[in-house]
Structure 1
Amino acid sequence: MHQQKQTLRRQFIQQRQALAPEVWQMHSDRICDLLANCPQFIEARTILAYQSCRQEPNLNSLFKATDKQWGLPRCVGKDLLWHHWQPSEPLVTGEYGILEPSAELSVLAASNIDLILVPAVAIDFNNYRLGYGGGYYDRLRADPDWRKIPTIGIIFDFAYVESLPIEPWDLPLNAVCTELGLSSWVTQLSC
Structure 2
Amino acid sequence: MDKASLRRSLLKIRQMLPKTEWQEKSDRICTHLQSSPLFEQAKTVLAYFSFRQEPDLKPLFADNSHRWGFPRCVGKELSWHLWQAGDQLETNKFGILEPLANAPTLDPSQVDLILVPSVACDVRGYRLGYGAGYYDRLLTLPEWSNKLTIGMVFEFTYLVEIPIDEWDRSLTGVCTETGVKLINKNQGEKLNNV
State the Cα distance separating 1:185 from its structure 2 match.
4.7
Query: Aligned ranges for residues 49-60 of structure 1 at < 5 Å?
Result: 49-60=47-58
Deviation string 1:151-183 (CA, Å, 9 cap, x unpaired) is: 000000000001111001110000000001111
Deviation string 1:113-133 (CA, Å, 9 cap, x unpaired) is: 000000100111101000000
Equivalenced residues, count: 186
Q: Can you give the 5+ residue segments of structure 1 that lack an aligned partner in the other structure? A: none
**What is the rounded CA distance, in whole Å, between the counterparts of 2:164 and 2:55 in structure 1?**
23
State the Cα distance separating 1:187 from its structure 2 match.
5.6
Larger relative strand fraction: 2
Query: Aligned ranges for residues 71-150 of structure 1 at < 5 Å?
Result: 71-150=69-148
State the Cα distance separating 1:184 from its structure 2 match.
2.7
SS at match of 2:163: coil
Considering only aligned residues, what root-mean-square deviation do their CA atoms show, in Å?
A: 1.2
TM norm structure 1? 0.95
Tell me which of 33, 40, 58 is aligned to 1:35: 33
SS at match of 1:152: strand
Aligned position for 2:172: 174
TM norm structure 2? 0.93
Aligned residue identity for 1:24: W
**What is the rounded CA distance, in whole Å, between the counterparts of 1:90 and 1:56 in structure 2?**
21
Q: Can you give the 5+ residue segments of structure 2 that lack an aligned partner in the other structure? A: 187-194
**What is the rounded CA distance, in whole Å, between the counterparts of 1:61 and 1:187 in structure 2?**
30
- Structure 1 segments of 4+ aligned residues over 2 angstroms from their partners: 184-188
Question: Percent of pairs identical after alignment?
Answer: 50
